[in-house]
């Protein structure tokens, strides 16, 4: 009841000295806004990385060849892929997609680009989470009958055809005609498309007609094997099983290093998550320090305010204010200032993040979570209490007679 009336008094005094009040709150406003925005950036960046990794499938392993010396021939072959695809040996593996890729000149009439041509299986799109915008990915029949069909990435299609419709059109790769059967959606978050301008053809077409593919022990060497496991939980188990099979097939001794590399997306995700959390904690703690500095600013100005209002305090005491009345008045004034400052800081951080999120090429979204808002408000009020207490106690200690004489 009394607190409510003091809030009124506090509000009146804040409004009566708008400029001073704003300056008092400034540190806190900036502190709260920077904590929220930096934590929001941390959260947003973490989510961005997670999304990008998840977009490439977190239930997949990607195997690439690793050669000891430059010029050594790769030992990762289509035969390896076939072995991994055997459900009797690898029940944990759901699908296997070997690919051969190379950069090549791709042309539509006299419109030509350098593009990464990938020979892939019909299952590749599914495993790699490639989304078709128009038409379709090539199918198993086209794959096995080695038809010269091609699927274009969105950027490749745009470069070759501008605004014309590529579907059903013919393009030339290595001077051989290929029919466009599908165009992919533009990949989100992943910038590699702009560099590679990828296009896809059936694996054996690429091996036999486009890419001069070397052989190892009679099998075509492949650039990459992507494996999809049956269950996300099995990913680490699958990783060790794949390693065993490949080492066996490649005749590696116990002391030999792997001549291949296995990329585990799930592990990558875990690492990225840890880094993101660390970043958020770091940014958050830097922000918290700035909040503290803001709180000290409040104490500073509250002390000035107590001195400035010495004669007001003296008058209030002459009129019968108890020490507790003066204490409450200044404490509540500090609390109201801090609550107001935190609120303005919250609004500010919302505006800033809305502004940044509105920029089309901004790399990630700033995510403000309700717990961080509550935390900012709580920290703001707490610092108001802590830093408001000392000036308030100073105010109660003033002797009414000294205070009244003060001009």
Partner 1 sequence: MNMPFISRRAQPASITNFQLPATSSHPVAQAPSQAAVHSARPAASSAHRQAVIEIGQMTKTYQMGENQIHALRGVSLTIHSGEYVAIIGASGSGKSTLMNMIGLLDRPSSGAYYLQGVEVSGMDKSQLATLRNRQIGFVFQRFHLLPRTPAQRQVELPLFYAGLSNSEASQRAKEALTRVGLGERASHRPDELSGGQQQRVAIARALVTRPSLLLADEPTGALDSKTGEDVLHLFKELHQQGMTLVVVTHDMNVAKRADRIIMLSDGLIVKDEKRR
Residue 17 or 64 having the CB closest to partner 1: 17
Taking CB under 8 A as the criterion, the residue among 221, 316, 368, 383 binding partner 1 is 316
Taking CB under 8 A as the criterion, the residue among 325, 356, 365, 377 binding partner 1 is 325
Task: Find out whether 23 and 305 touch, Cβ atoms under 8 Å.
Answer: no
Taking CB under 8 A as the criterion, the residue among 318, 354, 355, 378 binding partner 1 is 318
Taking CB under 8 A as the criterion, the residue among 311, 339, 382, 386 binding partner 1 is 311
Segment contacting partner 1 by CB under 8 A, of 299-307, 315-323, 351-359, 379-387: 315-323
C-alpha–C-alpha distance, residues 184 and 174, integer Å? 22
Task: Find out whether 220 and 100 touch, Cβ atoms under 8 Å.
Answer: yes
C-alpha–C-alpha distance, residues 219 and 65, integer Å? 14
Is 333 a binder of partner 1 (CB under 8 A)?
A: no
Is 400 a binder of partner 1 (CB under 8 A)?
A: yes
In the numeric block, which tokens belong to residue 210?
Answer: 């486009």
Is 12 a binder of partner 1 (CB under 8 A)?
A: yes
Q: How far is CA 260 from the centre of its chain?
A: 29
C-alpha–C-alpha distance, residues 10 and 308, integer Å? 15
Sequence-ordered strand ranges (E) for 218-327: 219-220, 224-229, 260-264
Is 321 a binder of partner 1 (CB under 8 A)?
A: yes
Segment contacting partner 1 by CB under 8 A, of 76-84, 120-128, 277-285, 309-317: 309-317
Is 313 a binder of partner 1 (CB under 8 A)?
A: no
Residue 1 or 254 having the CB closest to partner 1: 1
Minimum distance from residue 355 beta carbon to partner 1 (Å): 36
Taking CB under 8 A as the criterion, the residue among 143, 239, 259, 312 binding partner 1 is 312
C-alpha–C-alpha distance, residues 111 and 149, integer Å? 19
DSSP 140-164: HHHHHTT--EEEE-HHHHHHHHTTS
Give kind and range of the element (H or E) at residue 323: helix 323-358
User: Which residue's entry shows tokens 């792997």?
Assistant: 258
Is 16 a binder of partner 1 (CB under 8 A)?
A: yes
Taking CB under 8 A as the criterion, the residue among 319, 358, 360, 361 binding partner 1 is 319
Residue among 294, 295, 291 at smallest CA distance from 372: 291
Residue 26 or 315 having the CB closest to partner 1: 315
* Contact positions vs partner 1 (CB under 8 A): 5, 12, 16, 311-312, 314-323, 325, 399-401, 404, 407
């Amino acid at each position: 009841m009394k607190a409510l009336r003091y809030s009124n008094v506090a509000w009146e005094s804040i409004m009566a000295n708008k400029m001073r009040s704003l300056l008092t709150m400034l540190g806190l406003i900036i502190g709260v806004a920077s904590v929220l925005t930096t934590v929001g950036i941390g959260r947003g960046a973490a989510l961005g990385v997670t999304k990008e990794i998840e977009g490439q499938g977190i239930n997949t392993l990607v195997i690439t060849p690793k050669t000891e010396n430059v010029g050594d021939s790769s030992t990762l072959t289509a035969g390896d892929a076939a072995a991994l695809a055997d459900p009797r040996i690898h029940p944990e593996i759901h699908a296997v997609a070997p690919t051969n890729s190379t950069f090549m000149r791709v042309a539509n009439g006299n419109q030509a680009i350098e593009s990464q041509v990938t020979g892939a299986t019909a299952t590749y799109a599914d495993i790699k989470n490639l989304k078709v915008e128009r038409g379709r990915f090539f199918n198993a029949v086209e794959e096995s009958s080695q038809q010269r069909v091609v699927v274009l990435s969105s950027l490749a299609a745009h470069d070759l055809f501008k605004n014309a419709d590529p579907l059903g059109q013919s393009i030339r790769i290595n001077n051989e005609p290929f029919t466009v059967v599908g165009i992919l959606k533009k990949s989100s978050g992943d910038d590699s498309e702009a560099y590679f301008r990828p296009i896809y053809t059936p694996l054996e077409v690429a091996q036999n007609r486009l890419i001069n593919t070397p052989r190892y022990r009679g099998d075509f060497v492949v650039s990459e094997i992507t494996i999809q496991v049956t269950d996300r939980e099995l990913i680490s188990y699958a990783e060790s099983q794949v390693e065993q099979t490949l080492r066996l097939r490649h005749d590696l001794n116990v002391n030999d290093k792997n001549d291949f590399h296995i990329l585990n997306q799930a592990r990558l995700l875990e690492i990225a998550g840890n880094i993101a959390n660390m970043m958020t904690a770091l940014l958050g703690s830097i922000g918290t320090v700035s909040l503290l500095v803001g709180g000290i600013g409040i104490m500073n100005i509250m002390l000035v305010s107590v001195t400035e209002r010495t004669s007001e305090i003296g008058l209030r005491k002459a009129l019968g204010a108890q020490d507790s009345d003066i204490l409450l008045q200044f404490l509540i004034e500090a609390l109201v200032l801090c609550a107001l400052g935190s609120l303005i800081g919250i609004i500010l951080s919302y505006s800033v993040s809305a502004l940044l999120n509105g920029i089309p090429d901004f790399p990630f979204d700033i995510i403000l979570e309700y717990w961080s808002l509550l935390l900012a408000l709580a920290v703001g009020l707490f610092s108001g209490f802590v830093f408001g207490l000392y000036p308030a106690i100073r105010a109660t200690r003033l002797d009414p007679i000294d205070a009244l004489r003060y001009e």
